Amino acid sequence: MSTSVLPQNASMLTLPTDQVRAILWRFDQRFDLQMLVQSARGVARGTVARLVAAGERNTHDWTPLKDEMMEAFDRAGLSAVFMEPEEGGFIAGPKNLALALTAFELAWVDGGAATASLAGFLALSPIHERGTPEQVQHYMSLAVPPQPGEDRRPWRGAFALTEPIPYVGVDTGMLSGKVRISEWNDGEEPRLQVDKRGRFITNIASANFVTAAVNSCDDRIKGSCVIILEETDEGTFDAGTPTKKLVHQLSSTGDPIFNLKVPASRIVGGYTVKNGVIVPNFSHGEVIEAVFRRTRVTVGLLTAAKLLSAVEPVIRYQRGRFRGAEGARPGSVRYERGIQQREDALHRLVDVWACGEAAASLGFAAARLFDELDPLEKQKDAILQERGIAAGRTEMKALREVEQRAIEFLFMHSNDPRRTEYASDPLLQFVLKDAEANVLCPATKLWNTGHGANLMREAVSLMGGYGITEDCPGFLANKWMDAQLEATYEGPEAVQRRHLTVTMTGDVFLVEFRSWIGAMRRIASTRPGTGACTLASAMQMWLWTLTHLQKTTDADGNKLYQGQRQGVTFAMADALCWLLASRAQILDVIELERAAASDHSLADSLPGTLQFLSDLCHVQAADAAGQVSRICAELVFGYKKHPSWNDAGCSQCFSADELEEFEQTMPGITAMVMDVLKADGTHPAKAGPCATCGRENDFLQLQNKLSRCLSGARLAKDRAAETVSTVMIPEALDYPQ
Ligand SMILES: Cc1cc2nc3c(=O)[nH]c(=O)nc-3n(C[C@H](O)[C@H](O)[C@H](O)COP(=O)(O)OP(=O)(O)OC[C@H]3O[C@@H](n4cnc5c(N)ncnc54)[C@H](O)[C@@H]3O)c2cc1C
């Protein structure tokens, strides 16, 4: 194995270029996506930036200028990214990465603009994922922007799940929206009466159609469904009052009221009639699950874009901070470096940058994974249908058998003759990728937006008072606040944590995770500067802790790792996200080194860029290790009772006399003993004797190792900080402020 030797003094001279980004996020071979990025960027840094600068965020009403922004999306092709070529789109095949890149570019300037673009796709997603072929064809072609010369306005859509309190929020099972039969004449299609009130529904001001979640309140309709409502349907289609948002004001949000009669053919995915009862082919829960597992990844990328977009404005502010002052003459350190003379300012910016890189890496990895999963899922559905296996419990049972083969495959030796057969089994590949996707999606949404919002605050603070003004370059204060919506939108953090606590303990995922630890160690042996070894040790600690918690009880004998115990399960979910983000970041840098080696145009800049991005990986890995170590230690020890100075506690202690005697035969023992009782029974002034450890000793060994694994992390941070203080940035921000 060859060890990559980077020149020790390689320094990154400019910010990572588009070419570097395309390699890192694996679209360097996709010309269509590179063009899409340029189109989205043009609208974001042109139309959208001008709207923000003109104060359009100061009103929550839907204005003509905001409407024009939607038209700019249409003209740039952004409204057609979701569609197939035969529906009027221009990207063939899965589109998760395409949507992610579009959203990333828009959110680089404004999150509301990004959501305005995404919410239309969210409205179409139930139809795309579970709709009948007729529904798909009909609504996609209505929503696609007109071709040149075509005289029509594209349809806009909204997705209505959330309802006024006390209904849907985290618990999507509680619906007050109702559907019942209004007319059902023999031999005719039933007509349905839909009553739904929505809360916080995006795009509602311009929506021509809505996909709404409703429950049956009629014995002749089974369960729940998602139903398509159109503005011209008979009855009330009222956009309601606009929400007084403090965030994302470039998209419209409101509390609509629907009271409409629609044909039963609007049930997403269709229905069958059994014994005089309409049975929707998909419940609202099944539709929503298929939708959110993809769209939440894109939301996570909105916050990643914000963090990375903050780097350049902060550098510019820090460097220019003292220019114009009497004592700061051109050429002086104070003039040239400004606040960047100070280590803390640089280190904090390195933290923001490292987090942004990790968040982007995690989000794009998840988007790419869904691009791989989509065709496999279709293949899986076709195979199971051919075998007469229906969706639901029988499918789960069939897939459980495949899971066993998948685990066998993961344990297989590289030269096992069965590998080729297993590797080409679509069901097996589906199970593997599905297990990973079920973890990466909620992790992206949870970590990118939640931790990302915290670091956006840090970015704002680096701009001082300017940071919390409307004049702040890069609209950083808006982005800070917007990040909080991203943490809430499409299910707040509790939803993502709840999801993770189930999927991250799946057998297939845990075997995959174990193999990732080995892979990180192998990376570390050739690229020690990436922090991969630190990360591998932290991953090992997480796995050990999970196994420990799953079979341990608290001081009162109650099980620790169980559904209701969010103090344990949610904390472990949080810890895992740190690891996944750091891993994705390291893998991207390794890919850059591999792919760019054959790209001569990058030859000069590559060593410096690699050195810097590796240092950021190391910084992030050390942060992740610290978080995991803290969370795991608290869970491993926090549910044990602290010993007291009672009989049981004191029985673990030495008396001073005893110790003196032992010292004769075991010299030095006194130095190792923690708690000694004096002859008069008095004890050291503290809470009780220190806790003794049984099985937890293994944890302490892992923690000890992990601490030592941090060697070099701060050196990497110093090096990264040095680069931040010298890297060239453009003269002016690339969009108006
Ligand atoms: C600007 C904006 C746009 C939106 N757009 C849309 C849209 O287009 N369509 C749509 O359908 N909805 C939309 N929403 C709604 C959004 O998806 C919900 O607000 C979000 O899912 C959170 O639900 P909630 O507000 O009811 O929060 P709650 O469910 O009340 O959550 C409040 C807090 O309690 C915690 N919590 C709740 N339940 C639990 C639990 N079981 N365990 C632990 N903690 C818990 C949550 O994590 C959160 O911190 C939008 C919201 C906003 C603000």
Residue 181 · residue 191 · CB < 8 Å: yes
Residue 216 C-alpha from the chain's centroid: 33
- Residue whose Cα lies nearest atom 53 of ligand 1: it is 200
For ligand 1, the distance from its centroid to the CA atom of residue 173, given in whole angstroms, is 13
How confident is the model over 707-711, as a mean pLDDT?
96
Position 735 pLDDT exceeds 80: no
Sequential DSSP letters for 397-427: HHHHHHHHHHHHHHHS-TT-TTHHHHHT-HH
Which among 175, 183, 168 has a CA at the least distance from the CA of 214? 175
Residue 573 C-alpha from the chain's centroid: 13
For residue 168, give the ligand 1 atom closest to its CA. Answer: 26
For ligand 1, the distance from its centroid to the CA atom of residue 492, given in whole angstroms, is 5
Please tell me the predicted confidence (pLDDT) of residue 671. 85
For ligand 1, the distance from its centroid to the CA atom of residue 493, given in whole angstroms, is 9
For residue 204, give the ligand 1 atom closest to its CA. Answer: 8
How confident is the model over 430-447, as a mean pLDDT?
98
For ligand 1, the distance from its centroid to the CA atom of residue 209, given in whole angstroms, is 22
Please tell me the predicted confidence (pLDDT) of residue 692. 82
Q: Hey, which of 115, 162, 566 would you mutate to test ligand 1's pocket, going by the most ligand atoms within 8 Å of its Cβ?
A: 162
How confident is the model over 719-729, as a mean pLDDT?
96
Q: How confident is the prediction for the chain on average, in pLDDT?
A: 94
For residue 490, give the ligand 1 atom closest to its CA. Answer: 17
Q: Rounded to an integer, what distance in angstroms lies between the CA atom of residue 696 and that of residue 636?
A: 7
Residue 299 · residue 486 · CB < 8 Å: yes
- Residue 616 has which token pair? 């950021």
Choose the weakest-confidence range: 27-31, 169-173, 269-273, 542-546: 169-173
The model's pLDDT over 70-95, given as tens digits with 9 standing for 90+, comes to 999 999 999 999 999 998 999 999 99
Q: Is 186 exposed, middle or buried (0-12, 13-18, 19+ CB in 10 A)?
A: exposed
Please tell me the predicted confidence (pLDDT) of residue 660. 87
| 253 strand-pairing partners | 202
For residue 213, give the ligand 1 atom closest to its CA. Answer: 11
Reported as a pLDDT band with limits 50, 70 and 90, residue 737 is low
- Residue whose Cα lies nearest atom 43 of ligand 1: it is 494
For ligand 1, the distance from its centroid to the CA atom of residue 216, given in whole angstroms, is 23
489 lines ligand 1 (CB under 6 A): yes
For ligand 1, the distance from its centroid to the CA atom of residue 302, given in whole angstroms, is 18
Position 169 pLDDT exceeds 80: no
Position 201 pLDDT exceeds 60: yes
For residue 245, give the ligand 1 atom closest to its CA. Answer: 1
Choose the weakest-confidence range: 353-362, 608-617, 652-661: 652-661
What's the Cα-to-Cα distance from 216 to each of 118, 213, 222, 258, rounded to whole Å?
Answer: 29, 10, 6, 15
- Sole residue written with tokens 């965020």: 57
119 lines ligand 1 (CB under 6 A): yes
Q: Which long-range contacts (CB under 8 A, 24 or more apart) does 512-515 make?
A: 512/410, 512/432, 512/435, 512/436, 513/539, 513/543, 514/543, 515/410
Choose the weakest-confidence range: 11-20, 164-173, 668-677: 164-173
For ligand 1, the distance from its centroid to the CA atom of residue 161, given in whole angstroms, is 10
For ligand 1, the distance from its centroid to the CA atom of residue 602, given in whole angstroms, is 45
Which among 610, 636, 456, 642 has a CA at the least distance from the CA of 529? 610
Q: Hey, which of 115, 200, 495 would you mutate to test ligand 1's pocket, going by the most ligand atoms within 8 Å of its Cβ?
A: 200
For ligand 1, the distance from its centroid to the CA atom of residue 169, given in whole angstroms, is 5
- Residue whose Cα lies nearest atom 4 of ligand 1: it is 200
Position 694 pLDDT exceeds 90: no
Position 472 pLDDT exceeds 70: yes
Please tell me the predicted confidence (pLDDT) of residue 8. 55
| 179 strand-pairing partners | 194, 216
C-alpha angle 694/698/704, rounded to 5°? 125
- Residue 562 has which token pair? 């169980």
509 lines ligand 1 (CB under 6 A): no
The model's pLDDT over 305-348, given as tens digits with 9 standing for 90+, comes to 999 999 999 999 999 999 988 888 999 999 999 999 999 999 99
- Residue whose Cα lies nearest atom 44 of ligand 1: it is 494
Please tell me the predicted confidence (pLDDT) of residue 4. 52
For ligand 1, the distance from its centroid to the CA atom of residue 79, given in whole angstroms, is 26
For residue 165, give the ligand 1 atom closest to its CA. Answer: 26
For residue 570, give the ligand 1 atom closest to its CA. Answer: 43
**Quick one: three-class SS letters along 463-524?**
CHHHHCCCCCHHHHHHHHHHHHHHHHCCCCHHHHHHHHHHHCCCHHHHHHHHHHHHHHHHHH
Please tell me the predicted confidence (pLDDT) of residue 573. 98
How confident is the model over 614-631, as a mean pLDDT?
98
For ligand 1, the distance from its centroid to the CA atom of residue 44, given in whole angstroms, is 27
- Residue whose Cα lies nearest atom 25 of ligand 1: it is 169
Please tell me the predicted confidence (pLDDT) of residue 480. 97
Q: Hey, which of 170, 478, 564 would you mutate to test ligand 1's pocket, going by the most ligand atoms within 8 Å of its Cβ?
A: 170
For ligand 1, the distance from its centroid to the CA atom of residue 168, given in whole angstroms, is 8
486 lines ligand 1 (CB under 6 A): no
Q: Rounded to an integer, what distance in angstroms lies between the CA atom of residue 138 and that of residue 140?
A: 6
- Residue whose Cα lies nearest atom 50 of ligand 1: it is 200
Position 729 pLDDT exceeds 70: yes
For ligand 1, the distance from its centroid to the CA atom of residue 194, given in whole angstroms, is 23
- Residue 481 has which token pair? 């606040």
573 lines ligand 1 (CB under 6 A): no
Peptide bond into 166 cis (omega under 30): yes
| 14 strand-pairing partners | 728
Q: Hey, which of 167, 481, 489 would you mutate to test ligand 1's pocket, going by the most ligand atoms within 8 Å of its Cβ?
A: 489
Position 492 pLDDT exceeds 70: yes
For residue 243, give the ligand 1 atom closest to its CA. Answer: 1
Local structure of residue 728 (DSSP, 8 states): B
485 lines ligand 1 (CB under 6 A): yes
- Residue whose Cα lies nearest atom 11 of ligand 1: it is 161
Q: Pairing state of beta strands 209-216 and 201-202?
A: unpaired
156 lines ligand 1 (CB under 6 A): no
Choose the weakest-confidence range: 105-119, 592-606, 626-640, 718-732: 592-606
Q: Which H helix or E strand runs over 638?
A: helix 606-638
In percent, how much of the chain has pLDDT > 70? 99
Supply the Cα-derived Rg of the chain in whole angstroms.
Answer: 29
How confident is the model over 207-223, as a mean pLDDT?
97
- Write the CB contacts of 282 (distance below 8 Å, at least 6 apart in sequence): 130, 225, 226, 268, 269
What's the Cα-to-Cα distance from 536 to each of 198, 505, 533, 540, 702, rounded to whole Å?
Answer: 46, 18, 5, 6, 11
Q: Rounded to an integer, what distance in angstroms lies between the CA atom of residue 665 and that of residue 477?
A: 67
Position 5 pLDDT exceeds 50: no
447 lines ligand 1 (CB under 6 A): no
The model's pLDDT over 531-587, given as tens digits with 9 standing for 90+, comes to 999 999 999 999 999 999 999 999 999 999 998 999 999 999 999 999 999 999 999
Between 695 and 126, name the one with better pLDDT. 126
